[in-house]
Chains A and B, each alone.
Chain A
Amino acid sequence: MRRSWRTWAPGLILLLPSMVLIGIFVYGLIVANVQTSLTDQHTRVGPGNWAGLENYRTLFGDEDFRYGLRNLLYYTLAFLAGTLLIGFVWAWLLERGLWGEGFFRAVYLFPMAVSFIASGVVWRWLLNSAEGDRATGLNRGFDSLHLGFLSNEWWSNERWGILAIAVPAVWQLAGYVMALFLAGFRGIPEELREAARMDGASEWKLYRHVIFPQLSPVALSAIIIVGHMSLKVFDLIVAIAGDTNYTTKVPAIDLWTEYSRGDYAISSAIGTVLLVIVAVLIVPYLVYTFRQERRR
């Protein structure tokens, strides 16, 4: 164990600044946030008194907050299902050697380069809920294609409105998931397919037993990446529906509202709830990849 300091010191010095900065500005602030959420500091001027889990009780007792959580769940499911399905189909089509692969790859991937706020401004117009003579955007398009029955109120519907927000989100991220799957497809050695075909596997069996298992780590990564983006959705909703609209309420919007009115305790409690929800998704994944790497 007489390793010279020269082997470890440069690495440590290199890492130290980022460790200190992340320690203070990420983990330190998470602790401060949780602390605030356990007080009764419902104004901008602190500090508040210890209030235990009172804020969390208030939140989960509030029907509107639960509605926001429900919206978040619907949105995440729709976002995940949409991006995975479309991304996979596109990747599969391109992988089968469709003409003009480079062109389509760029076209599908490009929406990702646009920020949610910028695309939200356009989608706000596309998803306008006016019908009939005053219709604009998609409803107008449906009308002129004689598909008027498809016109709907989009995101202003109380039950399903949040799903309309998932439409632009899917549009934006499906290309990214496609790129992930395409890389996954390309990573499967041709020999594996040939071997399966030699053994007499049908095309379906080839996919079911050879390709899909090889793609599952890619699918898992896609779920984690898209899933955690989905849980943090804020900008897209603000750009399309505004921050006071009821039907598109999610916890991140509530957080902003509570913060802007100066209720620091409740807003930090919402922040903690969001952090826990994201952690539930991310931590098992981190544990899984850590184990995988150790096994190697």
Chain B
Amino acid sequence: MGHKRRAWGAALAAMALLATSACGGDDGGDGGGSDVEVFTWWASGSEKAGLDALVAVFDEQNPDLKFINGSVAGGAGKDAKNVLASRLQQEDPPDTFQAHAGAELTDYINNGQIQDLTSMYDEEGWNDVFPETLIERLKQDGKIYSVPSNIHRANVVWANNAVLTDAGLDPKAKYASLDEWFAALDKVKAKGKVALSIATDWTQVHLLETVLLADLGEEAYNGLWDGSTDWSGDEVKAALEDYSKLLSYTNEDRQSLDWPDATQMVIDGEAGFNVMGDWAVAAFDENQKTLDTDYVAFPVPGTEGVFDFLADSFTLPVGAPNEDGTKAWLQTVASPEGQEAFNAAKGSIPANTEADTSAFGPYQQTAIEDYASDQIVSSLAHGAAVPISWLTDVTSAVAKFSANGDVDELQGDLADAAEKAAG
């Protein structure tokens, strides 16, 4: 009797286990009808505020559609990308997902996971509202696959006026080249301050890309990504020497910090300069610092007149459950109203030149002006210039350089990365 009961118990337990493991697969995703699932990594802070503002516009423009928030937090988008990859693989795509505009989309395109939006651009007249040079940067083999929601600029130097004045420098001074900047950095260093603050590996890649841009010029810089500029050449070598020199001005605990720490060093007057994308302006705002009186922001020396862009954008996945809903979302994202609401909250600038930007902050005004007139190039560190896989190799090479300081090895690794990416 006892045995029998135990056997039944075991069998029941086994069945229960199998039942629970069988029904784990098919949740979410059933977004037919009026639901529009939007997959992002905007889960907190100003990014969440931006998304909420955008959703408000979407609801107003499309009262019969329902926004479903599919955001995945953590890892600056890395976790979200891993989740997204498995969903796309199981052919369970969201209605639209966030991705950095530009080459980061390459993998999705090659895998046949997102749809060509070129005809939608023609129908909606988006070719006229986004700057031509941006459209040029968005194209892959002549086709466009995503709609940019916002623009950030990467080649910006942030400097603390008090530290500069103390070192005998004029905060309003312009530096035409890196060499002129080195002289200024020397003066800050002589005062016992950190001349140039920097953080962990990706911020070093970020600095490297601006140095490449400064030394090579925009044409040769663009050539790095399509193979027309030789990574093993003397010009790149000279740029890497400059990068190495810049790194000698930086804080030794760089590997322990992330970008807010490095920017905070400038805000707190521990460091003179910091190179960071223009999302840093939010950190200055939070500390009640005023542009031009407390701090200055200018293009990295040698990159005047060039706008090193990165952008978030939205896609139309193959097999999206509610394709009309996706298109409505993309229309909201591209619309002047959507761009205005989103960017005012997130602290970036609208990609759509028709958006009303009169209410934007003083830094953004300068960025908007430059965006309309400058040459636009793609950022390396933020997925616009190269696919993720190539960027991974570049980051490894730069991280290694931070540890051993060997310029030749860095150049060799970067050349290998380019060769590997070319296949």
Interface string of A228-269 (1 = CB under 8 A from B): 000000000000011011110000000001011111000000
Query: CB of A14 within 8 A of chain B?
Result: yes
Q: Pick from A16, A45, A129, A247: contact of B253, CB below 8 A.
A: A129
- Residues in B neighbouring A20, C-beta threshold 8 A: 18
CB pairs A–B below 8 angstroms (5 shown): A134-B251, A155-B255, A260-B78, A261-B389, A261-B392
Query: CB of B85 within 8 A of chain A?
Result: yes
- Residues in A neighbouring B17, C-beta threshold 8 A: 17, 21
Q: How far is the CB of A130 from chain B (nearest CB, A)?
A: 4
What residue of chain A has the Cβ atom nearest to residue B392's Cβ? Answer: A261
What residue of chain A has the Cβ atom nearest to residue B270's Cβ? Answer: A134
- From A5-13, A98-106, A279-287, give the one contacting chain B: A5-13
Distance in angstroms between the alpha carbons of A127 and B253 in the assembled complex: 10
- Residues in A neighbouring B283, C-beta threshold 8 A: none
- Residues in A neighbouring B82, C-beta threshold 8 A: 259-260
- Decide if A44 touches B85 in the complex (CB within 8 Å): yes
- Decide if A262 touches B388 in the complex (CB within 8 Å): yes
What residue of chain A has the Cβ atom nearest to residue B18's Cβ? Answer: A17
- From B5-13, B94-102, B125-133, B226-234, give the one contacting chain A: B5-13
Interface residue ranges of B351-407 to A (CB < 8 Å): 388-389, 392, 395-396, 399-400, 402-404
- With A16-B14, A17-B17, A43-B111 already in contact, 17 other A-B pairs whose C-beta atoms are closer than 8 Å: A10-B3, A14-B6, A44-B88, A128-B256, A129-B255, A129-B256, A133-B192, A134-B251, A153-B252, A244-B201, A244-B395, A246-B399, A257-B396, A259-B82, A261-B388, A262-B107, A262-B389
What secondary structure prevails in chain B residues at the interface with A? helix
- Residues in B neighbouring A13, C-beta threshold 8 A: 7, 10-11, 14
Query: CB of A143 within 8 A of chain B?
Result: no
Distance in angstroms between the alpha carbons of A257 and B192 in the assembled complex: 38
Distance in angstroms between the alpha carbons of A158 and B404 in the assembled complex: 7
Distance in angstroms between the alpha carbons of A257 and B186 in the assembled complex: 37
How many A-B pairs fall under 8 Å by CB? 102
Interface string of A33-45 (1 = CB under 8 A from B): 0000000000111
Q: How far is the CB of B200 from chain A (nearest CB, A)?
A: 6
Query: CB of A156 within 8 A of chain B?
Result: yes
- Decide if B255 touches A242 in the complex (CB within 8 Å): yes
Chain B residues in the interface with A (C-beta under 8 A): 3, 6-7, 10-11, 13-14, 17-18, 21, 78, 81-82, 85, 88-89, 107, 110-111, 192, 194, 200-202, 251-253, 255-256, 270, 388-389, 392, 395-396, 399-400, 402-404
- Residues in B neighbouring A134, C-beta threshold 8 A: 194, 251, 253, 270
- Decide if B14 touches A246 in the complex (CB within 8 Å): no
Interface residue ranges of A137-180 to B (CB < 8 Å): 153, 155-158, 161
Distance in angstroms between the alpha carbons of A45 and B89 in the assembled complex: 7
- Residues in B neighbouring A245, C-beta threshold 8 A: 200-201, 255, 399
Distance in angstroms between the alpha carbons of A242 and B402 in the assembled complex: 14
Query: CB of A64 within 8 A of chain B?
Result: yes
What residue of chain A has the Cβ atom nearest to residue B413's Cβ? Answer: A64
Q: How far is the CB of A18 from chain B (nearest CB, A)?
A: 9
- Residues in B neighbouring A157, C-beta threshold 8 A: 403
What residue of chain A has the Cβ atom nearest to residue B388's Cβ? Answer: A261
- Decide if B14 touches A17 in the complex (CB within 8 Å): yes
- Residues in A neighbouring B21, C-beta threshold 8 A: 21
Distance in angstroms between the alpha carbons of A260 and B389 in the assembled complex: 9
Q: How far is the CB of B199 from chain A (nearest CB, A)?
A: 10
What residue of chain A has the Cβ atom nearest to residue B15's Cβ? Answer: A17
Contact of A43 with B14 at beta-carbon distance under 8 Å, contacts A21-B21, A245-B201 already known: no
- Residues in A neighbouring B201, C-beta threshold 8 A: 242, 244-245
Contact of A242 with B200 at beta-carbon distance under 8 Å, contacts A44-B89, A128-B256, A134-B194 already known: yes
- Decide if B392 touches A17 in the complex (CB within 8 Å): no
Distance in angstroms between the alpha carbons of A246 and B409 in the assembled complex: 14
Query: CB of A131 within 8 A of chain B?
Result: yes
- Residues in A neighbouring B400, C-beta threshold 8 A: 64, 246
Distance in angstroms between the alpha carbons of A21 and B17 in the assembled complex: 9
Interface residue ranges of A117-139 to B (CB < 8 Å): 124, 127-131, 133-134
- Decide if B255 touches A130 in the complex (CB within 8 Å): no
Q: Pick from B3, B6, B107, B256: contact of A44, CB below 8 A.
A: B107
